[in-house]
Amino acid sequence: MRMVLLGPPGAGKGTQANRLAEKLKLPHISTGDLLRQNVKAATSLGKEASDFMDKGLLVPDELVARMLMQRFEHADTKRGFILDGYPRNLKQAETLDEILKARVLDLDIVIYLDTSEAVIIQRLGGRLACSSCGANFHIKNMPPRESGICDNCGGKLYQRTDDQEETIKKRLEVYKKEVYSLIKYYEARKKLYRLSADEDAEIVLEKIIHLAQELDDSPKV
Ligand code: AMP
């Protein structure tokens, strides 16, 4: 199964992708996580990307595409993947299609996690991320068992620098500018499924799994 999760920052893409990856035994590929790993390791890519990320802007397409292509070289993507944070614009959607086409592959499903602005602000304002494995928690909605410590790996939790109010606003602005063309692109290819992501993570997860199963069971032409 090759799945893309689309949606605004705060839609819960990372949380859902993590859980789906576990359930479906597929790798979760998050371009945001890959970029943050590069920033942390101070690679040349990380150095180029960090300024854009701190400002809530998109990292240039070529840099992200190169990073993604390298990730697709890993054997774990052979059975499929859950992609989160990519594509962010039409050019990236085309690049993704080209990368897959070169491997004689195609996307199976694109899920658009529709989220209201009030929920986005509430979620991002209280979000905590693991500095080690990238898992997300929330001060109120999804607190870790032990304060400041990741349930999954024991890593230290922190507030992302781009989860400050001003940067959140910028990220939403960038998102709104690009999302319409992405929706049209995947609608035209009959890949897009919309879900409301305002509800609890468990409910949204069930809906996604239901969609994925329906797709798996549908006759292949
Ligand atoms: P995320 O973790 O998906 O919210 O991404 C955090 C930041 O990483 C974004 O605000 C961008 O600066 C950068 N980023 C992540 N994915 C992409 C992408 N596909 N294209 C460009 N920039 C990205």
Task: Please report where in the chains the tokens 């199964």 appear, as a residue.
Answer: 1
Distance 219 CA to ligand 1 centre (A): 35
Q: Dmax over Cα atoms in the chain, in whole Å?
A: 51
Question: Does ligand 1 have an atom closer than 6 angstroms to the CB of 29?
Answer: no
Rounded to whole angstroms, how far apart are CA atoms 221 and 217? Answer: 12
Q: Is residue 8 part of a domain?
A: yes
| Rounded Cα–Cα distance for residues 176 and 217 (Å) | 34
Structural domain that includes position 6: 2-27+74-116+169-217
Q: Note down pLDDT in tens along the chain; length 221 residues.
A: 999 999 999 999 999 999 999 999 999 999 999 999 999 999 999 999 999 999 999 999 999 999 999 999 999 999 999 999 999 999 999 999 999 999 889 999 999 999 998 899 889 989 999 999 989 999 998 999 999 999 999 999 999 988 988 898 899 999 999 999 999 999 999 999 999 999 999 999 999 999 998 887 766 55
Which atom of ligand 1 is found nearest the CA of 57?
Answer: 12
**Residue 124 placed within a domain:** no
* Ligand 1 site, residue 86, Cβ cutoff 6 A: yes
Number of domains in the chain: 1
Is 194 noted as a catalytic residue in this protein? Answer: no
Q: In this predicted structure, what is the pLDDT of residue 220?
A: 56
Residue 204 counted as domain residue: yes
Distance CA 162, CA 58 (A): 12
Taking the centre of ligand 1 as the mean of its atom positions, its distance from the CA of residue 163, in whole angstroms, is 12
Answer yes or no: is 104 within a domain: yes
Residue 34 lies in a domain: no
Residue in 29, 59, 163 to alter for ligand 1 test, most ligand atoms within 8 A of Cβ:
59
121 in a domain, yes or no?
Answer: no
Cα of 119 from ligand 1 centre, angstroms: 20
CATH number of the domain within which 174 lies: 3.40.50.300
